[in-house]
């Protein structure tokens, strides 16, 4: 078969297949969609729930419930053996609790308005890092401003339950 004839035959065959497929599809009911069953080893889809990483472990080990936030404030280990002057100068948000070890938080990035929701009972003092910090306690209706670089006493004989912290400029 010459080249030209072969090419015409192929094109005619493809056109016939297209016409046959279109005419049979127009008169017939659509075929049901076939879905593969999900495999057991396929991880669930990633959905951001804003839960603090290792929140369950932190609750079990430290009695601190970190619920959710925007992902920019994290509980971090407090550096050991710092002087008061070094603590005031560092970049950590520090939380002193009644008869409990101090907690340290670090804000990542340069976000304005980073926040973390929590349930930390017995908070007696809070120190902001290099920004003003707004904290909300269970016993208060309005947030309290914590001046950057200073320890701020928290009202209450045995401290108060810290519910939320949010950084501002």
101-119 tens-digit pLDDT: 899 998 886 666 788 999 9
Please compute the mean of the pLDDT values over residues 3-26 and round it to a whole number: 46
Predicted confidence (pLDDT) at residue 42 exceeds the cutoff of 80: no
* pLDDT score of 140: 84
* pLDDT score of 84: 74
What is the four-CA torsion angle of 51, 56, 57, 63, rounded to 10 degrees? Answer: 110
Q: Are 102 and 83 in contact (CB under 8 A)?
A: no
- According to DSSP, the β-strands at 115-127 and 65-69 are antiparallel
The pLDDT tens digits of the residues spanning 70-86 come to 878 889 898 886 777 77
Per-domain boundaries in the chain: 1-28, 55-167
In whole angstroms, give the CA distance from residue 18 to residue 12: 10
Three-state DSSP state, 58 = helix
Three-state DSSP state, 99 = coil
- According to DSSP, the β-strands at 151-153 and 115-127 are antiparallel
Predicted confidence (pLDDT) at residue 158 exceeds the cutoff of 70: yes
* pLDDT score of 21: 47
What's the mean pLDDT when you consider all of the chain?
A: 75
Q: What is the pTM of this model?
A: 0.66
CATH classification of 55-167 is 2.40.40.20, yes or no? no
In whole angstroms, give the CA distance from residue 30 to residue 18: 17
* pLDDT score of 9: 47
* pLDDT score of 112: 67
Three-state DSSP state, 37 = coil
Q: Are 115 and 71 in contact (CB under 8 A)?
A: no
Distance of CA 133 to the CA centre of its chain: 20
* pLDDT score of 110: 65
């Amino acid at each position: 078969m010459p080249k030209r004839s072969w090419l015409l035959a192929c094109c005619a065959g493809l056109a016939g297949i297209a016409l046959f497929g279109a005419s049979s599809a127009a008169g017939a009911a659509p075929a049901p969609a076939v879905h593969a069953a999900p495999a057991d080893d396929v991880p669930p889809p990633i959905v951001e729930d804003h839960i603090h990483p290792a929140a369950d472990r932190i609750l079990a080990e430290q009695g601190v419930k970190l619920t959710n936030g925007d992902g920019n404030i994290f509980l971090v280990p407090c550096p050991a053996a710092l002087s008061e002057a070094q603590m005031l100068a560092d970049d950590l948000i520090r939380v002193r609790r009644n008869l409990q070890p101090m907690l340290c938080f670090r804000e990542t990035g340069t976000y304005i308005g980073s926040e973390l929701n929590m349930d930390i009972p017995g908070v007696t003092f809070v120190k902001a890092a290099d920004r003003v910090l707004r904290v909300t306690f269970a016993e208060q209706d309005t947030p309290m401003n914590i001046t950057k670089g200073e320890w701020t006493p928290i009202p209450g004989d045995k401290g108060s339950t810290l519910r939320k912290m949010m950084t501002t400029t």
